[in-house]
């Protein structure tokens, strides 16, 4: 889901903090010694599901299938993959076979359910940087149907399809002549993920000169939530890929404009594995999350300010960059609309977690400020 460059934010942050009092994480070690620091904690004034549409393009993993989760709802996923490379044979050589090879590295749902999907050709050029998880691409009728059995899936393309598209497959301008394939789930109560890094997923053509292996150039996953999530009362669902994300507002003006020793954002969470599920049903929680800031100026892209792993039932964000960012908010050097929790872009998934609402007492999300004595 969805990376944004941090470099320019970091540079700007250093410039701003160089003009103010020093900020560091020294204060984080003082939480256990409240006599050495002033500790102030507040809950967010707003903590709700985000309407932001996830960005699933160019993630190393594509998803395919559908799953009916008693908590997260019914979700369907289709994967789109384009390829690049140069035909190894001469233009006059006949292509005798063509096949797609996909390597599975992710599962969400009933692991005993057999996933069947159909293969379609993408019919027009597409820019992976511009598609969101709710977008659809124009595709052909089904070329083939296959079942996923094991971690490696091989799809042999029909001879008639090869003959019809042979000129495009051998073209010296293959990247523009051919636009890739779509994987559309048809049966099964499981969403699978295919790894597209390196040679783990390839498009292979065989001719008299041997094998031509086209590698993945672009990816995109279309995710559709077919029924609403049903989180228990007092919780908010966060889910990668399909959404929702979480957005929040903290009243930074409740703190004085003074130097701080540190800032910690804490989000107690509850894994969905603690809820009753059908036998052999797997749903994993995000290993880590990112905290993003959405600027007041809508012409500026949201930017990441911290990353945190799940630790002892909560995601806790604390770093020198984060403390400097909060310090600049207090000094008026930075203005934001709100903060957001997002899944890292490293690998696309449907990983889900439940967050306690802002009115959950000791389990509520909080911002803790560590101030000088």
For the residues of 101-120, what is the DSSP string, one character each? Answer: EEEEEEEEEETTSPPEEEEE
**65 and 147 in contact (C-beta within 8 Å)?**
no
**Which of 236, 285, 267 lies closest to 363 in space, CA to CA?**
267
For residues 181 and 107, what is the distance between their CA atoms, to the nearest angstrom? 21
How does strand 245-249 pair with strand 202-207?
unpaired
Average pLDDT over residues 317-341: 94
Assess whether pLDDT exceeds 70 at residue 258: yes
| Alpha carbons 56 and 2: distance in angstroms, whole number | 6
pLDDT of residue 18: 35
CA atoms within 13 A of residue 296's CA, in its CB half-sphere: 6
Are the C-beta atoms of residues 342 and 2 closer than 8 Å to each other? yes
CA angle 97, 98, 102 (to 5 degrees): 140
Backbone angles phi, psi at 272, to 5 degrees: -70, -10
Beta bridge pairs of residue 215? 84, 202
Whether pLDDT at 15 is above 50: no
Q: Taking 80 as the threshold, does the pLDDT of residue 196 lie above it?
A: yes
For residue 257, pLDDT over 90 is answered with: no
Q: What pLDDT is stored for residue 195 in this prediction?
A: 92
Residue ranges per domain, the chain? 7-51+244-371, 61-225
Tell me which of 90 and 165 has the higher pLDDT: 165
Q: Which two tokens stand for residue 356?
A: 């306690």
Q: Is it the case that residue 9 has pLDDT exceeding 50?
A: no
Q: Give me the chain's average pLDDT, please.
A: 86
pLDDT exceeding 90 applies to what percent of the chain?
A: 59
Q: Whose CA is closest to 248, among 109, 98, 52, 113?
A: 52
pLDDT band with cut points at 50, 70 and 90 for residue 53: low
* Structure confidence at residue 6 as a pLDDT band (50, 70, 90): very low
Give the CB-side neighbour count of residue 147, counting CA atoms within 13 A: 6
- Give the per-residue pLDDT at 166: 96
Count of other CB atoms within 10 angstroms of residue 328? 19
Q: pLDDT value at position 210?
A: 93
Rg (CA), the chain: 24
Say what the pLDDT of residue 48 is: 94
């Amino acid at each position: 889901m969805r990376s944004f460059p941090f470099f320019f934010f970091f540079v700007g942050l250093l410039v701003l903090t160089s003009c103010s009092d020093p900020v560091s994480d020294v204060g984080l070690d003082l939480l256990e010694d409240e006599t050495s620091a002033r500790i102030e904690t507040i809950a967010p004034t707003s903590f709700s599901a985000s309407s932001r549409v996830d960005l699933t393009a160019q993630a190393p993993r594509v998803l395919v299938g559908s799953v009916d989760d008693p908590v997260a709802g019914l979700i369907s996923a289709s994967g789109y993959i384009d390829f690049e490379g140069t035909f190894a044979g001469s233009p006059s050589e006949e292509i005798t076979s063509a096949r797609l090879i996909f390597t599975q590295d992710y599962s969400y749902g009933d692991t005993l359910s057999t996933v069947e999907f159909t293969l379609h050709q993408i019919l027009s050029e597409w820019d992976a940087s511009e598609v969101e998880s709710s977008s659809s691409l124009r595709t052909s009728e089904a070329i083939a149907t296959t079942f996923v059995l094991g971690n490696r899936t091989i799809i042999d393309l029909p001879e008639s399809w090869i003959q019809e598209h042979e000129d495009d497959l051998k073209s010296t301008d293959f990247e523009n002549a051919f636009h890739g394939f779509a994987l559309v789930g048809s049966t099964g109560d499981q969403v699978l993920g295919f790894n597209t890094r390196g040679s783990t997923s390839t498009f292979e053509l065989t001719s008299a000169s041997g094998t031509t292996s086209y590698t993945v150039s672009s990816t995109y996953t279309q995710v559709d939530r077919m029924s609403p999530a049903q989180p228990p009362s007092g919780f908010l669902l966060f889910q990668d890929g399909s959404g929702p994300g979480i957005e929040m507002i903290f009243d930074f003006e409740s703190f004085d404009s003074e130097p701080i020793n540190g800032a910690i954002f804490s989000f107690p969470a509850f894994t969905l594995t603690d809820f009753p599920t059908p036998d052999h049903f797997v749903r994993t929680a995000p290993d880590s999350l990112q905290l993003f800031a959405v600027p007041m100026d809508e012409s500026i892209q949201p930017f990441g300010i911290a990353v945190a792993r799940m630790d002892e039932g909560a995601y806790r964000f604390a770093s020198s960059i984060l403390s400097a960012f909060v310090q600049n908010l207090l000094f008026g050097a930075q203005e934001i609309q709100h903060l957001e929790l997002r899944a890292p872009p490293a690998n696309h998934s449907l990983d889900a977690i439940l967050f306690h609402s802002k009115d959950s007492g000791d389990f509520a999300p909080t911002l803790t400020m560590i101030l000088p004595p």
